[in-house]
Amino acid sequence: MVVHLDVEQRAAALHLGPALTDAERRYLTCDASCEVWFERDGQPIGAGRATRTINRRLRRTLEHRQFTCAVPGCGATRGLHAHHLRHWEDGGATELANLVLVCPYHHRLHHQGVITITGTAADLTVTDGAGRVLSPGSLARAPKLAPPAVAPCPGLTGERADWWWYEPFQPQPPPTIN
């Protein structure tokens, strides 16, 4: 896909398509596989820096350094996105020190403004919308209700279990006819 980005107004639109919200623009220009055309006064001025996307070598190094989602307590290991801590459109470099891996869910939440990922890759801070720092246990929620009371299972008809119930079924040979 092709995204046209007005550098002065920070407005973006799909090529021959609709305008993008700020969250969609930041999400697509972070590490999506798209072509970004920079414009000024409606005229193209360039196709952007060539190093916005993460090459295989840098991706492998990033995966070696960090193999789970950077959001504390997430633990996702598959389908992770490489995220620029200082956004690429704000001049952030596509270098290991400026990249972390996040799962698609948290990547989207970050670009929608629900969570904030700041700091460096070595000293990362993740906060929620209220500014509270997320810790590994903060994604877990304590139950609001006690577990339901369940009576013990008495067995098939209430009597004690016999071991022959648990032995595999042995088919008997058919009777012989004389």
Percentages helix, strand, coil for the chain (3-state, rounded to 5) are 20, 20, 55
With residue 38 as reference, give the H or E element that holds it.
Answer: strand 35-40
Look at residue 136 in the predicted model and tell me its pLDDT. Answer: 73
**pLDDT (mean) for 108-135:** 88
How far is residue 10's CA from residue 24's CA, in Å, rounded to a whole number? 12
Closest alpha carbon to 108 in 67, 131, 137, 79 = 79
Q: Report pLDDT digits (tens) over 7-37.
A: 677 778 777 778 888 888 777 777 666 666 6
R_g (Cα) of the chain, nearest Å: 28
* CA of residue 20 relative to chain centroid, distance: 21
Helix (H, G, I), strand (E, B) or coil at 143: coil
Q: Hey, which of 24-28, 62-66, 94-98, 156-160 has the most confident mean pLDDT?
A: 62-66
Instruction: Give the range among 56-65, 116-125, 130-139 with minimum mean pLDDT.
Output: 130-139
Look at residue 16 in the predicted model and tell me its pLDDT. Answer: 76
Q: Work out the number of other CB atoms within 10 angstroms of the CB of residue 101.
A: 22
Closest alpha carbon to 94 in 47, 31, 40 = 31
* CA of residue 9 relative to chain centroid, distance: 29
How far is residue 107's CA from residue 117's CA, in Å, rounded to a whole number? 9
